[in-house]
Amino acid sequence: MSIKLRFYRVILGLSLTVIIILAINFIASRPNEITLKEAYLLGLNKAKGWDPNAALIIMTSVDDKKEGSKGSNGKRRNWNLIFGVPETNKQLIITINDKDIINSKSNEDIIMKKSMIVSLEDIKVDSPEALKQTLEKHPIEPGKDWAEGHHFGLYKIEESGKTAETVTGFDNGKFTKIALDASKGELLN
């Protein structure tokens, strides 16, 4: 084999190695953000392992100081969820970070009524679409420092039976939470 051919093989091998390393670093550096619905499903799986009758009571995105969209694409890195067992005081508090459940703690609190349950069927509009619809109708700004970016939440309104999906930001410097009907995407407030 000629020296020239060996040289080209070495250069090709080094080039491929560099490309592979750059690709791995790019993939590893991308934030592991998830939508509200993806966080719900991840938490629900854990909660059903804790108690087969578990159901969501409330969930919200949480600030983080790492890189990422900070909610500008309807996704967040961190989520807190509270599941409960209907007609009991059993609760499970779950924390998600970068697509992983990093904490879950069983707790006893108020008795959860069936009217407080949020089910998967209630969530027809996921957080990216909720953000888009909110910004089209009420252009709130992303938060800075505290409540950085846009945040998302989900809970049942007992009086109306509707599931509220919230988008949070700032309007004229004031903390503002806009609620949509999670099944229709229509503004509630």
Tell whether 141 and 75 lie within a shared domain.
yes
Domains: count for the chain: 2
pLDDT grade, residue 29 (50/70/90)? very low
pLDDT for 84: 96
Token code pair at residue 67: 């890189």
Judgement on whether residues 90 and 4 belong to the same structural domain of the protein: no
pLDDT at 40: 97
Percent of the chain, pLDDT > 90? 58
Cα–Cα distance measured from residue 175 to residue 148, given in angstroms and rounded to the nearest whole number: 11
Q: How confident is the model at residue 27 (pLDDT cuts 50, 70, 90)?
A: very low
Q: Give the span between the Cα atoms of 153 and 166, in whole angstroms.
A: 5
Q: Are residues 41 and 124 in the same domain?
A: yes
102 and 169 part of one domain: yes
- Which residues form the domain of 1? 1-30
CA distance 179 to 164: 6
Is pLDDT above 90 for 1?
A: no
The pLDDT of residue 75 is 96
Please say whether the beta carbons of 100 and 159 come within 8 A: no
Task: Give the pLDDT score at 88.
Answer: 94
**Does residue 47 form part of some domain?**
yes
Inform me whether the pLDDT recorded for 30 exceeds 60.
no
